[in-house]
Chain A
Amino acid sequence: MNLELLQAYGPRMLSGLVTTLELVFISAGIGALMALPLALARNSRSRLLSVPAKCYILFFRGTPLLAQLFLIYYGAGQMRGPLDAFHVWWFFRDAFFCALFAFTINTTAYQAEILRAALGSLPRGQTEAAASLGLGSWVTLVRVLLPQAMILALRPLGNELILSLKASAIASIVTVPELMQATKLAFARSFEFQVYIWAAVIYFLMVEVVRRVWILFERRLTRHLVRAAV
């Protein structure tokens, strides 16, 4: 490890790390809030709801995140007039917000698909039993269906968070000053290959932390099943 190099580029990479974490966790959080309505719309019997939801999920899961980001980032410039008229240009002018927006709508599609699959795999009897007990559809969803669906969805959702963490490096391509961008800059200036290795170690550690935290979550959610498994 080269101390001079660390002194020169360490602070910038550290602030890049903070930006990366902001990007990932804000987008994953908002995505989680929007994914549930989307999953319900996708599972809905009404065509008016299920078809648009299906198209949304298909589009964002079927195209590269990079293409979506470019569409939003460069497309916003072309749409400046209308965006100005709605007073949202300040948002789309900023590469960070564009990346945040793109990551959010992307992860929403993936999370919705996970939730849809989990909710869909629950036996019909759960809904029927709740209905025969006189529970309303909202109570059924929150107290009966979701707790069971979350057990199934937890692991895929963790994988999705890890994938988002890795995909956040793409933001560097539109000059968002996150970890990857700071690393690229350090490499371009110093031509020291080891900065890429530092970045690799940091990303590796982040993924490892998420993975371990997720194991704890899973233990908590399935704590009522532990004795049955033994």
Chain B
Amino acid sequence: MGAFQLLSFGPEGWGSQLASGVWLTIRLAVATLPFGLASGLLLAIMINGRNRMLSRAALVFTTIFRALPELLTIFIIYYGLQFLIQAVVDAAWPGTSIEINGFLAGLFALGVVFASFASEIFVAGLRALPKGQAEAAHALGLSRGTAFVSVIAPQLFRLTLPGVGNLWFVLLKDTALVSVISLSDLMRQTTIAVSNTKQPIFFYGVTCLIYLCLSLVSGAVVALLEVRTNRAYRGAR
């Protein structure tokens, strides 16, 4: 069978399966991003905050999840959540068994790792912002919420964009790991195609190229965002 036939969308080819895999990979990565960013920011605010206990707890959390292999984190969250929820369900409604949603477990696991690394970037970003920004916002009578949304956040976005962009590349590649909890992402669909056609070099090669394209496209988007966020600073350097 030729390459064209193997990738066709008909009953003979694997095009539609691979496309659905790509779609799930993209959905998972895009859904993890806001969760990871929000939790990362929350962790950074906790670490920078005045409450000693909260700051310690957040530091311990991020140190642990930065050190664990992503694969192990996925297993721990997938099975751990299952045990936990099963225990709760058993207590409330004995006899029922539940199956945890792989997509949510994957999102949660990848999000926790993303948030742990992002918190480092946000902590550095928050410290790099001059104190005067917050004080000036206060002096203008802005509420803390408004000050954060319209004064701090836009500047933080600019400062942390390169770091967060890197994390996005890592996230995109890490989504391949969720195939181990039987989520039909691109990696798993490729493996299914390989076990049916016995063409590993061709299919894994194509999959590598697809991941590469996703990385290149995201690289272009990050570059565009960087130009846009820095437009006020152009010429100043």
Q: Complex formed: what's the CA distance from A65 to B208 in Å?
A: 10
Tell yes or no: B154 within 8 A of A by CB: no
Q: How large is the interface on A (under 10, 10 to 19, 20 to 34, 35 or more residues)?
A: 35 or more
Q: Complex formed: what's the CA distance from A180 to B190 in Å?
A: 23
Tell yes or no: B35 within 8 A of A by CB: no
Flag the segment in B5-13, B51-59, B142-150, B193-201 that touches A.
B193-201
Q: What B residues does A184 contact at CB under 8 A?
A: 75
Q: What B residues does A78 contact at CB under 8 A?
A: 198-201
Q: What B residues does A64 contact at CB under 8 A?
A: 173-177, 187, 211
Q: What A residues does B205 contact at CB under 8 A?
A: 71
Task: Among B175, B201, B211, point to the contact of A63 (Cβ < 8 A).
Answer: B211
B-facing mask of A58-74, CB < 8 A → 1, else 0? 11001111111011001
Tell yes or no: A203 within 8 A of B by CB: yes
Tell yes or no: A207 within 8 A of B by CB: yes
Q: What A residues does B212 contact at CB under 8 A?
A: 58-59, 62-63
Q: Is the interface of B mostly helix, strand, loop or mixed?
A: helix
Contact B72 A67 (CB under 8 A): no
Task: Among A65, A168, A196, point to the contact of B173 (Cβ < 8 A).
Answer: A65
* Interfacial residues of chain A within 55-100, with CB under 8 A of chain B in the complex: 58-59, 62-68, 70-71, 74-75, 77-79
Q: Complex formed: what's the CA distance from A59 to B173 in Å?
A: 12
Q: Complex formed: what's the CA distance from A141 to B66 in Å?
A: 35
Q: Complex formed: what's the CA distance from A149 to B67 in Å?
A: 27
Q: What B residues does A172 contact at CB under 8 A?
A: 71
Q: Closest CB-CB distance, A188 to chain B, in whole Å? A: 11
* Interfacial residues of chain A within 164-219, with CB under 8 A of chain B in the complex: 165-170, 172-173, 180, 183-184, 187, 193, 196-197, 199-200, 203-204, 207-208
B residues near A (Cβ < 8 Å) are 64, 67-72, 75-76, 79-80, 83, 169, 173-177, 179-180, 187, 190-191, 194, 198-201, 204-205, 207-208, 211-212, 215-216
For the complex of A and B, list the 10 residue pairs with the smallest distance between their C-beta atoms, beginning with the closest: A74-B200, A169-B69, A64-B176, A71-B204, A207-B67, A62-B215, A64-B173, A166-B69, A75-B201, A169-B71
